[in-house]
Chain A
């Protein structure tokens, strides 16, 4: 099944590469923009899946790194256009070759600091503390008038990179798709490596892993940082696509949306977050085309998916295919022990 899943991923990516060619023929040029958004969110959701699905770490602040990546691009651009170096030291830039690594670096550093502190807690406290840090960053950027505050920053047209014209919708889509492919390759390698096995072990029973002598904190932190870098990369792409960055990128609802993409698609799978991102973005797009009150419909749809499609859309696909997926990890198998209140109790309370 794992092998099947990889084949599916490759097939989907190859098919997706034809979208910019097919869209004009089908007379729906808007499709390219929609597909670009799906691909960018797929990177973000897939990065969240690394910690959420594989390691069982429920981060409710993943949009923070998405936003940090976005603001890295936005702030560098603002200094590029004003000509004043950032903090008097770092010259601004609008080249993707500079802003993208900068965004990934900023996201990684942010995730390292927040992760190092947050990972001292577990369970619901971890959910809330990651949310708290994301909210702090959100309010910080809301209050930074120099970078647009509430209104956000506009980024004018992006310059060509390596002969690629980012102003062309198709080119930008292909760049995003290429990065998604590279990111999924990395995620697949990580999941199947020794590192990935340790993460799975942490999810299934952290105490046992610790008892085996594994420094689980270190592994969790590294995974957290990688996930932050992925989200920042997605954020940088999103700002290049929208030509705009605002604190909304790091709002808690955005974190919620990313989580929904992962759960909707299927936790701990390679393809799941991609399908989840595609499903949510497409649902939002098509429902909002039908009615202004599309959330009134989307809400119950999400509810039905939770109630009747355990394991997300990947679970449905597997059941339809009549396969039990022996190799792939059961998507809903977040350890009950990680979070349930009975487990959160100290030993004395449980037995006493």
Chain B
């Protein structure tokens, strides 16, 4: 029981991290129609910037700010220099261009920081565990990630549903020409939305640093999962991204925790572990395939 609760919390924590990435990806796709494979690179940039800032200053606040600023800045430069030329192109051109960006960023990080993974300490103030239920201790840091993720979700909801910028974003998604005709600088709006997406990806990267090691290629591992989230939730829907992310986080974590154990009852230890890990990894893709076969446009289609 205690283990289950812990796994569920881990699942939610992975879920909100995925949500931060998926929100940016789904906004950029839903509004600009761009498939950005390099979204994971922004996550990596945020994580690296924070890791380097943390090790050189020792301050968690500086690390956070450095990670967010670096990811947002790189994101807006990428939008300005590359992606805005691709809005009118078909998705294949976007896939090819952003794949090129992935190679560039990954190897760039190798050039700057080498191939050795960087390790980041949990900030002083968030160390230790807290008793969430009698007999269940849970790391404060992971609870903080969950809290930040949920706050961001709330903030995005308010931003998109309740503010003027959000209104333009929603209108721009469906009636781009009309918004432009009303005198709105759509190009600037796009750059800002892309910057916001990059900022959120950077936040995910900064927060993940102390849990996983910061290394080249970390963006691609999570990018595919993020795409799964976006597609399950329904493209362009931030609400879908939240539900999809938590669902994927829970399924992935719970399968990883329990499948090898179940298999070990019917087969030998090491083989069960290997097969179990594989089956658990397949789980989220199976989930996505099932969702798409039942609801081809995802659970929360954006414009239904």
Contact = CB atoms under 8 A, between A and B. Distances in A.
B286 A136 contact: yes
Given A125-B292, A149-B274, A300-B100, A346 B30 contact: no
A231 B73 CA distance: 41
Interface in A116-145: 117, 120-122, 124-125, 127-129, 131-133, 135-136, 139-140, 142-145
A135 B33 contact: no
B164 interface: no
A332 B90 contact: yes
Contact of A341 (B29, B93, B276, B278): B29
Contacts of A124: 29, 35, 91, 231, 235
Contacts of A295: 103-104, 106-107
Contacts of B89: 306, 332
B96 A129 contact: no
A307 B289 contact: no
A345 B104 CA distance: 34
B116 to A, nearest CB: 15
User: Chain B, interface size: which category?
Assistant: 35 or more
Contacts of B131: none
B96 A346 contact: no
Interface string A78-115: 00000000000000000000000000000000000000
Contacts of B276: 143
A306 B86 contact: yes
Interface stretch (B62-70, B152-160, B296-304): B296-304
B82 interface: yes
Given A132-B228, A135-B285, A296-B107, A143 B96 contact: no
A77 interface: no
Contacts of A129: 231, 288-289, 292
Interface string A318-352: 00000000000000101010011110111001100
A121 B296 contact: yes
Contact of A143 (B110, B279, B292, B298): B279
Given A129-B288, A143-B275, A144-B275, A302 B103 contact: yes
Contact of A293 (B85, B110, B285): B110
Nearest to A114: B289
Contacts of B270: 145
Nearest to B278: A143
Given A142-B278, A267-B92, A306-B86, A256 B108 contact: no
A300 B82 CA distance: 11
Contact of B30 (A298, A341, A350): A341
A125 B282 contact: no
A39 interface: no
A136 B93 CA distance: 26
Most chain A CB within a 10 A radius of its CB, from B110, B274, B277: B274
B285 A125 contact: no
Interface string A236-272: 0000000000000000110010011001100100000
Contact of B227 (A131, A140, A144, A146): A131
Contact of B96 (A142, A306, A339, A341): A306
Interface in B53-108: 82, 85-86, 89-93, 95-97, 99-108
Given A125-B231, A140-B282, A296 B111 contact: yes
A303 interface: yes
A163 interface: no
B68 to A, nearest CB: 25
Contact of A264 (B91, B96, B111): B96
B99 A302 contact: yes
A136 B282 contact: yes
A145 B297 contact: no
A299 interface: yes
Nearest to A334: B90
Interface string B221-261: 00010011001000110000000000000000000000000
A263 B86 CA distance: 15
B281 interface: yes
Contacts of B286: 132, 136
A224 to B, nearest CB: 16
Contacts of A349: 174, 303-304
A332 B304 CA distance: 30
Contact of B275 (A122, A135, A145): A145
A339 B100 contact: no
B85 A135 contact: no
A201 B209 CA distance: 49
A133 B103 contact: no
A64 to B, nearest CB: 12
Contacts of A136: 282, 285-286, 289
A344 B297 CA distance: 9
Nearest to A305: B96
A13 B279 CA distance: 44
B271 interface: yes
A13 B220 CA distance: 37
B42 to A, nearest CB: 15
A139 B252 CA distance: 13
B224 A252 contact: yes
Nearest to A304: B100
B222 to A, nearest CB: 13
- The list of the 6 closest CB pairs from A to B, nearest first, reads A143-B278, A299-B104, A302-B100, A299-B103, A296-B107, A139-B281
16 contacts: A125-B296, A125-B298, A127-B35, A131-B224, A135-B224, A140-B279, A143-B277, A145-B275, A256-B95, A260-B96, A296-B108, A298-B100, A299-B102, A334-B91, A341-B173, A342-B174
Given A294-B107, A340-B33, 8 more contacts: A124-B35, A131-B227, A143-B278, A299-B100, A299-B102, A301-B100, A302-B97, A303-B100
